A = this chain, B = another copy of it.
């Protein structure tokens, strides 16, 4: 039986309840959820309804399901972070693992643009990282990462020098990045960028303006990357 007051389908309600528990930390990253029948009994619905909820969560990379083993909270390993969110690939389509070199970082008041992108009120404090990323030891991009410092406190102390951040956000703060959107454009390298990347000023760079959202729907991070695409290209698929 279910209450007729709630308009959404049952499976959507179950899905929301599971997300709620994930946010509360009921199950940690990598941990197994109870099996379908246990969840079904728990929520007072049939196993098929739980299945539909879990299938949707699996499709959104929030849980991972293995036949014969169980359903697990998706873990943002460095490999997964890179494979999923880092879209620069070699000319032949192959992927390489980037290295990171931190150039600068610290806390400061958010700029108006950052407030807009991070959905912050004027004057809020943010933590920023400026870093150089290389592929096969060749400088590939410079980027500025800005995070809401209330969402990820002490990142400046604990995260220094990290290469992949999304897995750190999850393991350290329980913040799971589940979606990002990007605006791409072609720009000319500034003098500073040209110096870092080893090209002449004005060299065409691919600018990636990315916002990343967490499981709770709040914006976690904004980053602006300026990439050399002489050796590597940005790959995407549309279906």
Q: List residues of A whose CB falls within 8 A of some B CB.
A: 60-61, 84-85, 87, 89, 178-188, 202, 204-207, 209, 227, 229, 233-239
Contact = CB atoms under 8 A, between A and B. Distances in A.
Contact of A184 (B178, B181, B236): B236
6 contacts: A179-B239, A182-B235, A184-B233, A187-B204, A187-B229, A236-B236
Nearest to A61: B239
B206 A205 contact: no
Given A179-B238, A185-B234, A186-B205, 8 more contacts: A60-B239, A181-B235, A181-B238, A184-B184, A186-B187, A186-B229, A187-B204, A206-B206
A27 to B, nearest CB: 21
Contact of A202 (B178, B183, B184, B202): B202
Nearest to A188: B204
Nearest to A209: B233
Contact of A238 (B182, B183, B185, B233): B182
Nearest to A177: B238
A10 B234 CA distance: 37
A179 B234 CA distance: 17
A181 B229 contact: no
Contact of A206 (B61, B84, B89, B186): B186
Contacts of A181: 235-238
A185 B205 CA distance: 8
